[in-house]
Structure 1
């Protein structure tokens, strides 16, 4: 759980500083930022952060793909980070994500807003954090697609030999995670189980944004970003031209997906520039390119 918080905070720090995330990035996370973000005692925050980085160094992630030569399914394990460091005098931890993990991290970075990262601050279960990550991607529809059981277990980080019976999986993983999300975040979640005969094969989830959270989000947006959202009006021609320029900026290179060429990256940016929530991210870079956002 502390390791997941560290990853999320590293994403937030990289975004706010504009440094981005790639395999050459030595990311810095400060103890005071960890304490403020996750409401822990500042006196202990450096040690908590240091322990979390050590734990992350020892952990690995499993991912799956297909062999391009024969189409066979493959499973890989790789470390999250290949380098960590400590600077006690300033309460700073340094870390560098492995090359294999960077694409996974940047995809997570695309999915999460700073507001959503703040939401997981109150979650103290790794399963709850992962479930929130999975669910919140479908904020626009408030319902998820079907999650096949075995794949879903892997996404939550449940090992093959853990909670093998459905009753244990529900009582030890799924239901406690949902309870934490409902009590500590901006959404209320319900799950539906799907069966083939009497066997549960997977789950779907529906959720609603809590009224207070909805108002808070709208209030924050009204207070902090109205000029940006109102002023960022682009013609189709401008959007296409600036998307092409953005796709070639070094600062944004880590946002490109694996095997995505400049044209594909530009097309994705052009689509994101239509999304008010994602527009804000591009404003500093548009300014550098000379677009007048005001």
Structure 2
């Protein structure tokens, strides 16, 4: 599907979320603050990215291509009255919206409920392995993927306390993900990576 040359938008990939829908999804938010909260949540999507590996065939040879894509291809217009239009990137939209099915608001609501950037980025990592439910990742690669601060990169105990545990807890509580994880510590030496085993909740809210 190509973008409209006039509007620069990809039909079907622009989702309008109204303040009314936002309040219905998050009744704990005061109505007077709802639009501000909605705009902030939508704007934060622009800073989020997703990475995955895909198999490509070139000149009869198979290879793996690593892709890095923003969730949305344009910052949200916050001057609108009562709604925001979220413009999902063409490369990622089919995965988020469903290749042949219409957009599922239920999934968006649960994903948008995440407040920690580390939760978002851990979610991005797990999403790449949703078919297997298991991922092993090196220490440096993990720190880079989640955007861990330097103090945590240098101290695995801080990384665990400030990044991994809060992110896992939020994904468990807000997305219903069953996650088990452990550090990789060969022969009692320093942590060299992590193993994550996960399973989406039975209602399929996440993947």
Give TM-score scaled by structure 2 length: 0.62
Partner of 1:170: 160
Q: Does 1:50 align with 2:1?
A: no
Q: CA separation in 2, counterparts of 1:113 and 1:137? A: 20
Q: How many residues align?
A: 179
* 8 Å contact kept, 2:134–2:196: yes
- Structure 1 residue 45: deviation in Å? 1.4
Q: Does 1:20 align with 2:6?
A: no
Q: CA separation in 1, counterparts of 2:106 and 2:184? A: 32
- Which one has the largest radius of gyration? 1
* 8 Å contact kept, 2:43–2:75: no
- Structure 1 residue 92: deviation in Å? 1.5
Q: CA separation in 2, counterparts of 1:168 and 1:120? A: 26
Q: CA separation in 2, counterparts of 1:61 and 1:145? A: 18
- Larger % of helix: which? 1
- Structure 1 residue 202: deviation in Å? 1.6
- Of the three residues 165, 187, 196, the one matched with 1:205 is 196
* 8 Å contact kept, 1:189–1:208: yes
Q: Secondary structure in 2 aligned to 1:168?
A: helix
Partner of 2:19: 31
- Structure 1 residue 78: deviation in Å? 7.8
- 1 or 2 for the larger relative contact order (CA 8 Å, sep ≥6)? 2
Q: Secondary structure in 1 aligned to 2:185?
A: strand
Q: Does 1:87 align with 2:80?
A: yes
Runs of 4+ off more than 3 Å: 51-57, 59-65, 74-84, 94-97, 104-123, 136-141
Q: CA separation in 1, counterparts of 2:67 and 2:85? A: 29
* Superposed CA RMSD: 4.2
Q: Secondary structure in 1 aligned to 2:148?
A: coil
Partner of 1:125: 116
- Larger % of strand: which? 2
Give TM-score scaled by structure 1 length: 0.46
**Cα–Cα, structure 1 residues 126 and 116, in superposed 2: closer, same or farther, change >3 Å?**
same
* 8 Å contact kept, 1:56–1:81: no
Q: CA separation in 2, counterparts of 1:120 and 1:75? A: 21
- Structure 1 residue 173: deviation in Å? 0.3
- Structure 1 residue 179: deviation in Å? 1.9
Q: Deviations over 1:120-179 (max 9, x none)?
A: 3553322223323433554554x31212222222332335x3522111111000011112
